[in-house]
Structure 1
Amino acid sequence: MNDDMAAQVRAGNGFIAALDQSGGSSPKALAAYGVTTDAYTTDSEMFGMIHAMRERIVMAPDFTGAKVVGAILFEDTMDRMFAGQPAAAFLWQARGVVPFLKIDKGLEAQAHGVQLMKPMPDLDALLDRAHGLGVFGTKERSVIHAADAAGIDMIVAQQFEVGAQVLSHDMMPILEPEITIDIPDKAEAEQMLLDSILRHLDQLADGTVVMLKVTLPEVAGQYQPLVDHPRVMRVVALSGGYDRDTANAKLAQNPGIIASFSRALTEGLSVQQSDDAFNAEIGRTIAAIHAASVAG
C-alpha cells in the first residue's frame, strides 16, 4: 500500500470526491448536468459524455490535494485518460488526489430490509488491474432500507468479507453500508449499524484497518466511536440525496467525518457553462464541502 497515499487519506485536510456514477446512475447525473437522453444512443456514447464531465471537474484549478483528499472512480473512468494520462496516475501525480475504485456490480433484490451486493466473481482480476494502475483503494456499496437487525448484520458481514478480499491485494477498502435517508426508522437503523460494525471491527487482526462510508446520521456524533476506532483509517459520509447545503450542515455537526459526495459535488454544474463559469462554480462547491469536512 502506498505510504504517501495512506498518509494523505489518514490526515488529509479535505474530502473525497465521488466520481463513480455507474451505468444506472449516469443518465440522472448527465441530466442534472444538462445532457438529456436524446444526446446519446448507446452506453458507449453515454460513458463518453460523463467522462467528459468528470475530466472537466478534475481539471478545474481547485481540484487538488489541498482540499480534495481522494477521488472514487468508476471502472470505465479508471480505464480512460485525464489530460493524456491514465486517470489514476493523473489524479495522484498531477493533482495530489488519492485514487479509489468503485468495485460493486449493483444490488440484489431487497430482503430483510436490505439490499446486499451482487456477486463479484471477477473481483480478484479487477483488483490486480487496479493495483497495477496505481489505485489505492476501493469502495463497495450496499443499502439498508429498514431497522432490521438480521438484515443489517448480513450487510455488515458481506462488507467485511469483501473488505478482506480487497486488503489481500494490498489495497484499502471503503465499506459503504448506506442507509436510505427517508426511512422512518433511520435513527434505529443507525444504532444497529454502529453496533454491528463495532463487533466486526473488534474481530479484525491487530494492525488491520479499513475505511467506512456512512449516511449522514440523525443524531450528531452517532458515529464518533468509528472515528476514534484504532482499526478505522477514516470515516467518510455520503450525501445520500440531501442537497449540498443540507449535507454540508449535517456533516459539520459530525467532527472527524469528511465528505465523500457525488450528487452534492456536481450540483450547479452545467455543460452549457463556460470554462470560467464552470471552474468558479466547482471552486465554490469544493470550498464549501472542504469547510464542512474540516469543521470541528
Structure 2
Amino acid sequence: MTVYGFHASHEQVPPADLLTAVVRAEEAGFTAAMCSDHFSPWSQRQGESGFAWSWLGAAMQATALPFGVVTAPGQRYHPAIIAQAMATLASMFPDRFWAALGSGEAANEHITGQRWPRKALRNQRLAECVGVMRSLLDGEEVSHDGLVTVDRARLWTRPRTPPPLIGAAVSPETAGWCAGWADGLITVNSPIEQLRQVVAAYRDSGGAGPACLQVHLSYHPDADEALRLAHDQWRSNLFAPPFPWDVETPELFDQASERVLPAEMHEVVRISAEPQQHAAWLQEYADLGFDEIYLHHVGKEQSEFIDVFGAKVLPQLEVTSR
C-alpha cells in the first residue's frame, strides 16, 4: 500500500487558505501532507510565500496527519536553527514529522547577500549541515568550523525520537549520494525511465528508507481550463537544472518563461480532466516503488481538486490507513 499525501504550496496559496485545504484533504482521505519552504514564489503570478515553519505548527495541530517539509539548511537557515525547529515540532507531535534536505535554490537563498556557491560546494555544505543537525538532534553539544560555523550549540528541547532527515534529489547521481546519509529519498515527477533510474540509484547505493515522490498535476473538469491553470501557474518550472537552481528572482523566471507554449506543460505537469487518468498515472508511480506520493495541484484553488480526488481517485488506489 502507498501513502497518498497532499502537498501544500506556499508559493501559490495564502497560509490561512492552505490550512483550510489540508484539513479538507484529511477529511477527503489523504493520509499525509507535506509543504514547500520558500522565501519567494517561482512567478509573480503565484504571488505568495508564507513561512513554512509557522504554518506547520498550526497545520499539525489542526490535523492528525504526518507532515514533511522540503528545506535547505546552510545559507538562509543556520543548521542549528533548523534543527531546533525540527526538534520542537517532533517534540509536540511525536512520530509525525520529517524534513527533506536539499542544497537549495538561489531564488530563496540569495536574500542573505552571500555568494551563491557552485553545486559541488552546496552539496558539501549540505553534508556538513546534516552532520551538525544529526548531532544536535542526538543531544550533543556541537562546534563546527567549515562551510558552516557552529559554536557550542545544544538543543535543550528534543523529541524522544529524532525526526527522519530525507534526501532531496532529481538525478540518479544525487539519489545515490543521498543513500549514504539520508533516512529516505524524495524526488519530483519526471519521465518514467528517469524516475526508475533515480529509485534504482538510491536502492542500489544502500538506501533503505522510504522513496517519496512529489507529483505536479492539474485537474479541472474542463480539459482546456486544466491546461490553462498549468500554463498560468507552473510554466516557470519547465526548465531543467541547473537553471532553476541559479535564477534569483520571480521576475527573471517570468522573463525566461514568456515563450513557453501551453502544450509544453505536459512535460512537467500531469494534466487531465479525467479522474481515471490521474489514478492511472499515480498507480504507475506506485508501481515504480514509491512508498509515498504527494499530490500538488498547481492551481491556486484547491477545494475541487481535493473533493474530486477524495471521491474518485483515491478509492481506485491502495491507500495506507493512518
TM-score greater than 0.5 by the shorter chain:
no
State the TM-score, normalizing by the size of structure 1: 0.43
Give the structure with higher Rg (CA): 2
Q: Determine which structure has greater relative contact order: mean sequence separation of CA pairs < 8 Å that are 6+ residues apart, divided by chain length.
A: 2
